[in-house]
A and B are shown apart, each in its own frame.
Chain A
Amino acid sequence: MVGSMDECILVVDDDREIVKALGILLEGEGYRVLKAYDGLQALDILSSNQVRLVLIDVMMPKLDGLSALMRIREKQNIPIIVLSAKSEDTDKVLGLSMGADDYVAKPYHPAELAARVKSQLRRYTSLGDIHAGCRSTEIKNGRLLYSTEERVLYADGEPVKLTATETRIMELFMRNLGRVFPAEEIYRRVWEEEAFASENTVMVHIRRIREKLELNPKEPEYIKVVWGIGYKMEKK
């Protein structure tokens, strides 16, 4: 039980089965779930209830998701996750630029969605004002925070358990956000040995790190492969 009943989540989708499924999922996680089936209804509920997070579908009758999203953003700053069957990059960019905090394409994996909801809520509630406590020894990137002093990586404010090699790899990535490292270089700098057939070794470690800190390890958000070139930490 991570969530608490006073954390109220609004689920908006014109497909009742999906709403119901989401209700089951999120209530299972310990949140209170309010349900709406179109944009107008969602706005109604928002005006009369204290809501911590909104999950909203794009294509809906009466008022579509993106329009509703803009109306909500006029008043509230709560995290909003867009759920959509439109899975293309352009759709994602559009949704995020309209003020969404996250964009999850259907069909999503329930566990992943639950993780994203948690992540958003945690950032909104506990890490709301993270910049205040940000020290120079800390490197922040999205949900990740790396303390160079402690040599500890935090994801959504919680420390991630990493091995020594993994920590060194993460330190390399966190210190060089966005830079692409060929596998050989990673190997040389982390293992401090001459690289030989390093691809596999590096890849295995990176996969393990992904499993520990990515919400969906199959579609990594932070540690990405640049195919044919190397690996990099995406700057958020």
Chain B
Amino acid sequence: MDTKWKKSKKIISFVIFFLGVCLTLEGLTGLLRYNPHGIRISQIDKLLEDDYQQSDRFRSYISNRLECFLIMATGGQNLWDIWRYGSDVYYGEGYDYEGYIESIFNEIYEDGYSETAEWNISPDDLYNYLKDLYEFQNNYLEIIDSLSDMKAPKELESYRDNMESYRDSLESYLENLEYYSGYSNRSAKHLTEEQKKQLAQKYHESIKGDQNLLYTILYDGKVLYSNSDLLKTDGNLNTPDGYNFLLYFDGEKVRIVKDGSELDVYGDGYYRDDSLWEVPGYRNLQPAESLKKVKVYMAAAKAPVLYTEGYGSSTRQLESSLYWIQHNLNGRRIFLINSIVCLASGAAFLLLSLFCRKSRRQAATDIAGIQAKIWVEFKVLLSGAILYLLYLFILIYVINGSEYDLWQEFFFQYDYNYTAAISSYGPLLLASIPSIFWIILFWGIYFLWNDLRHNKGFWKRSLVAGLCRKFSAKELNRPLAKKMARRSAAALAAALAYGILALATVILNSVSRPINYGMLLLFLLASAGFLAAEYLIGRKNAETALDMETLSRRISEIRNGNYDSCSTDAQFAGHDLEKVIEQLEDIRHGMAKAVEEQMKSQQMKVELIANVSHDIKTPLTSIISYVEFLKQEKNLPEHVMDYVKILDEKSQRLKNMVQDVFTVSKAASGELPMCMEQLDFGKLLRQTLADMEEQIAGSSVTFRTQLPDSPVMIMADGQRMYRVFQNLFQNALQYSLSGSRVYVTLKTDKSLAVASVKNTSHVEPEKGKDFTERFARGDQSRTDGGSGLGLSIAQTFTEACGGNFSLDIDTDRFIVNISFQIQP
């Protein structure tokens, strides 16, 4: 409830502020725009006067009419001026008063053009002269035209244009001359009595329909012109019904009755600039002698109305000046009152908003919060659009659409030099800008200021900045593949949008001949945006490619056993592959650790075995020594000699085993020193066989050899390989079926030399058993005399020499293949 009230309070306070500002601006600009005719704003009582008969306009209208009537009655020479009267008064739309008057004149002056001229040159002569000039010029142009047939240069073209425009201006000048020659004669001409009468009659006819102003003009007691029977000409000041103003001119003085009471027309009797009524009868403004016989009655309607005639096919407004005076005055008054009310209420609202400015400020902050969510680009576009609309508004409303083409006149005065015209009539222009413009401008600036004040990092909230962010921070948390796919999609979308826009621009510009600059600008902007987007994406991709290069290099480094971590990972901050590279470095670190630990443990194992074998060797030395002594003992019983023999054998085996264990552990840890040299594989086999000849000869198996005579050169450590084959042959001797054959072969296959030892086992080999495993033996009881390391050593040594060791068991057949690359 509390928060709800707070929210409402905020809204209410802001609405109050909003209304206050709007109304104040409306009222203030209204007052500033208010341009009363001849009345200063300080004369507020006059401005608020609702009786039009109290206005200066009314008074001057009445006095002018009176003057007209007097001229009509007496046939004054300056009757023309009557017609000119009031040309600066707005009589309503669609009423061609000037044209009407013109037609009347032309009707009256049938013999229009003058016989007398005030110029030295007669208009006819001037006319003829100009006509000749015009003809000459036409001839000249014809010559140019004929010249232009012969592929005239461009200068000629422009010259011809100039000539043509010159001809046009001459033409219009000629027309003007014709017009003015007639016109000037008109005023210079003396009217005849008959013409005067005609003119007065015409004028009477033109104004008599206006029943807002009733009049009766008498001369020498006889009614000359009257438009109403309602006016009594008995010298009494009685106003007819519906009329509350009566003016009576008795030939010397003017008497005015308004609302039943007579007004004091003359004051102290002298006419001054600020006198209300400009009528004859002042001491310093006495009527002429000819007016003494004239009497004029005039009555003005209390509420003037608009009179028309010919309703239907050709509606025409009749002269209704009083109606327009009343209408305009009333309109002005209402406008002024509105403005004042607006200003007052606006000020009141502003005052009220002062009391709740705290919640208003909160509301402003809230609005700023909403504004923050809008992209800057959109705001800029919106502001631009608003400014452009306002500009159009001024252009249309103020300059083109204002009352009686005021600005056109101004511009005409300044020969369409807009800058000069605006600078001279600028204040007027500003004043004529409507309030809504200022209100929109104010709120535009207010919201801009509000946004800038509350929202820090204005540009960070732009669409572009948002996109940039999307490509960096947020993207980093997404899986790599998704990220790459998204980026490709973004690039594609940008290209597509750009393509469509480009196509649209091309089509639009080919259709509309005047180039569509807005579209072109948009296209240029889009091009820039597209290029920027492509650049960003491209840069990101290039960066990723470089990172991938680094990554693959590091992977191969790790594969090659380089476990030194790289510490330059700050350079990958913010990259796509940052995480991957980090993880790789973690793996590298882990591997380095594992390898180190493995090395350490291997080292320890070797050390342990070395120590153990050393510790075994010392007592073994004693055993062997004493067994030897026992063997040399002469008088031992037969069975004791047997025991000694067994001891001797076993101690020798133990000695071999200790040595083998030591060798294998060293070889497995890679600490065995190797002496690689080129040697003949076949010879090695022969030598080994020769070395073991006695053993072979003393066994129950036969060796079948198949070795090539030509040397087969390989790279190996001869000593170690001797040991390998020694072990293999020994195995064969030990585990072969009695009377079976052992096949020793060496074959070359392109670049590979393969030595095989095949024998038939005397026991069934256990299936799935890895015989190269350490301490693996064909016989689980472990009493057969081997160390169990023979094959293990063979395999280890072969591999240490760079060869390949493989063991196949096919039923009872043991097949060992050892292969080496043949050296060229």
B659 contacts A by Cβ under 8 Å: yes
Q: How far is the CB of A67 from chain B (nearest CB, A)?
A: 19
Q: In the complex, are the beta carbons of A107 and B620 less than 8 A apart?
A: yes
Contact of B680 among A17, A109, A228 (CB under 8 A): A228
Q: In the complex, are the beta carbons of B625 and A25 less than 8 A apart?
A: yes
A3 contacts B by Cβ under 8 Å: no
Q: In the complex, are the beta carbons of B617 and A106 less than 8 A apart?
A: yes
B688 contacts A by Cβ under 8 Å: yes
Contact of A228 among B613, B615, B679 (CB under 8 A): B679
Which residues of the partner chain B approach A21 to less than 8 Å between Cβ atoms? Answer: 621-622, 625-626, 629
Query: Known contacts A106-B617, A229-B683: does B622 contact A18 (CB below 8 Å)?
Result: yes
Q: How far is the CB of A213 from chain B (nearest CB, A)?
A: 18
A226 contacts B by Cβ under 8 Å: yes
Which residues of the partner chain B approach A111 to less than 8 Å between Cβ atoms? Answer: 628
Q: In the complex, are the beta carbons of B673 and A85 less than 8 A apart?
A: no
C-alpha gap A52/B614 in the complex (Å): 29
Which residues of the partner chain B approach A226 to less than 8 Å between Cβ atoms? Answer: 718
Which residues of the partner chain B approach A107 to less than 8 Å between Cβ atoms? Answer: 617, 620-621, 623-624, 651, 655
Q: DSSP class of B's interface residues: helix, strand, loop or mixed?
A: helix
A158 contacts B by Cβ under 8 Å: no
A25 closest partner in B (C-beta): B625
C-alpha gap A109/B693 in the complex (Å): 24
A24 contacts B by Cβ under 8 Å: yes
C-alpha gap A183/B709 in the complex (Å): 13
Which residues of the partner chain A approach B688 to less than 8 Å between Cβ atoms? Answer: 227
C-alpha gap A53/B680 in the complex (Å): 44
Which residues of the partner chain B approach A204 to less than 8 Å between Cβ atoms? Answer: 690, 693
Contact of A199 among B662, B677, B679, B687 (CB under 8 A): B687
Which residues of the partner chain B approach A155 to less than 8 Å between Cβ atoms? Answer: none
Which residues of the partner chain B approach A108 to less than 8 Å between Cβ atoms? Answer: 621, 624
Contact of A110 among B624, B683, B689, B722 (CB under 8 A): B624
Which residues of the partner chain A approach B655 to less than 8 Å between Cβ atoms? Answer: 107
Q: In the complex, are the beta carbons of A15 and B686 less than 8 A apart?
A: no
Which residues of the partner chain B approach A50 to less than 8 Å between Cβ atoms? Answer: none
Q: How far is the CB of B441 from chain A (nearest CB, A)?
A: 97
B681 contacts A by Cβ under 8 Å: yes
Contact of B614 among A15, A85, A225 (CB under 8 A): A85
B328 contacts A by Cβ under 8 Å: no
Contact of B622 among A15, A182, A228, A230 (CB under 8 A): A15
Which residues of the partner chain B approach A228 to less than 8 Å between Cβ atoms? Answer: 679-681, 683-684, 687, 716, 718, 721-722
B691 contacts A by Cβ under 8 Å: yes
Which residues of the partner chain B approach A134 to less than 8 Å between Cβ atoms? Answer: none
A86 contacts B by Cβ under 8 Å: yes
C-alpha gap A24/B679 in the complex (Å): 46
Q: In the complex, are the beta carbons of B628 and A109 less than 8 A apart?
A: yes
For chain A, the bracket of interface size reads: 20 to 34
Q: How far is the CB of B820 from chain A (nearest CB, A)?
A: 11
C-alpha gap A7/B155 in the complex (Å): 140
Task: List B residues 604-627 near A (Cβ within 8 Å).
Answer: 613-615, 617-626
Which residues of the partner chain A approach B620 to less than 8 Å between Cβ atoms? Answer: 106-107
Contact of A227 among B629, B662, B687 (CB under 8 A): B687
B614 closest partner in A (C-beta): A85
A200 contacts B by Cβ under 8 Å: yes
Which residues of the partner chain B approach A49 to less than 8 Å between Cβ atoms? Answer: none
A114 closest partner in B (C-beta): B628
Which residues of the partner chain B approach A230 to less than 8 Å between Cβ atoms? Answer: 683
Q: In the complex, are the beta carbons of A183 and B622 less than 8 A apart?
A: no
B719 contacts A by Cβ under 8 Å: yes
Query: Please, how many residues of chain B have a CB less than 8 angstroms from a CB on the other chain?
Result: 38
C-alpha gap A94/B91 in the complex (Å): 135
Q: How far is the CB of B669 from chain A (nearest CB, A)?
A: 14
Q: In the complex, are the beta carbons of B618 and A18 less than 8 A apart?
A: yes
Query: How many A-B Cβ pairs are below 8 Å?
Result: 103
A202 closest partner in B (C-beta): B690
C-alpha gap A230/B621 in the complex (Å): 34
Task: List A residues 152-186 near B (Cβ within 8 Å).
Answer: 182-183
A89 contacts B by Cβ under 8 Å: yes
Query: Known contacts A17-B622, A204-B693, A227-B718: does B617 contact A199 (CB below 8 Å)?
Result: no
Contact of A89 among B625, B628, B673, B689 (CB under 8 A): B673
Which residues of the partner chain A approach B690 to less than 8 Å between Cβ atoms? Answer: 199-200, 202-204
C-alpha gap A38/B688 in the complex (Å): 43
Which residues of the partner chain B approach A202 to less than 8 Å between Cβ atoms? Answer: 690
Which residues of the partner chain A approach B614 to less than 8 Å between Cβ atoms? Answer: 59, 85-86
Q: In the complex, are the beta carbons of B686 and A199 less than 8 A apart?
A: yes
Q: How far is the CB of A102 from chain B (nearest CB, A)?
A: 16
Task: List A residues 15-29 near B (Cβ within 8 Å).
Answer: 15, 17-18, 21-22, 24-25
Task: Write out, one digit per residue, whether chain B residues 171-196 have a CB within 8 A of any chain A CB (1) or not (0).
Answer: 00000000000000000000000000
Which residues of the partner chain A approach B681 to less than 8 Å between Cβ atoms? Answer: 228
A137 contacts B by Cβ under 8 Å: no
A77 contacts B by Cβ under 8 Å: no
Which residues of the partner chain B approach A59 to less than 8 Å between Cβ atoms? Answer: 614
Which residues of the partner chain B approach A182 to less than 8 Å between Cβ atoms? Answer: 683
Q: In the complex, are the beta carbons of B624 and A229 less than 8 A apart?
A: no
A87 contacts B by Cβ under 8 Å: yes
Task: Write out, one digit per residue, whether chain A residues 98-136 have a CB within 8 A of any chain B CB (1) or not (0).
Answer: 000000001111110000000000000000000000000
Contact of B679 among A86, A89, A227 (CB under 8 A): A227
Which residues of the partner chain A approach B716 to less than 8 Å between Cβ atoms? Answer: 228
Name, among B614, B629, B673, B690, the residue most crowded by chain A CB atoms within 10 Å (CB to CB): B690
Task: List B residues 340-380 near A (Cβ within 8 Å).
Answer: none
Contact of B684 among A18, A110, A227 (CB under 8 A): A227
Which residues of the partner chain B approach A17 to less than 8 Å between Cβ atoms? Answer: 619, 622, 626
Task: List B residues 698-721 near A (Cβ within 8 Å).
Answer: 716, 718-719, 721
Query: Known contacts A21-B629, A106-B621: does B721 contact A203 (CB below 8 Å)?
Result: no
Q: In the complex, are the beta carbons of A225 and B722 less than 8 A apart?
A: yes
Task: Write out, one digit per residue, whether chain A residues 182-197 have a CB within 8 A of any chain B CB (1) or not (0).
Answer: 1100000000000000
Which residues of the partner chain A approach B615 to less than 8 Å between Cβ atoms? Answer: 85
Which residues of the partner chain A approach B693 to less than 8 Å between Cβ atoms? Answer: 200, 203-204
Which residues of the partner chain B approach A229 to less than 8 Å between Cβ atoms? Answer: 677, 679-680, 683, 718
- 5 closest Cβ contacts across the A-B interface? A228-B679, A227-B718, A228-B684, A203-B690, A21-B625
With A106-B620, A203-B687, A204-B693 given, name 6 new contacts (CB 8 A).
A106-B617, A108-B621, A108-B624, A199-B690, A227-B687, A227-B688
Q: List 24 A-B contacts (CB under 8 A).
A: A18-B621, A21-B626, A22-B625, A25-B629, A85-B617, A87-B662, A106-B617, A107-B621, A107-B623, A107-B624, A107-B655, A109-B628, A110-B628, A111-B628, A199-B689, A227-B688, A227-B718, A227-B721, A227-B722, A228-B681, A228-B687, A228-B716, A229-B679, A229-B683
Interface positions of A (Cβ within 8 A of B): 15, 17-18, 21-22, 24-25, 59, 85-87, 89, 106-111, 182-183, 199-200, 202-204, 207, 225-230
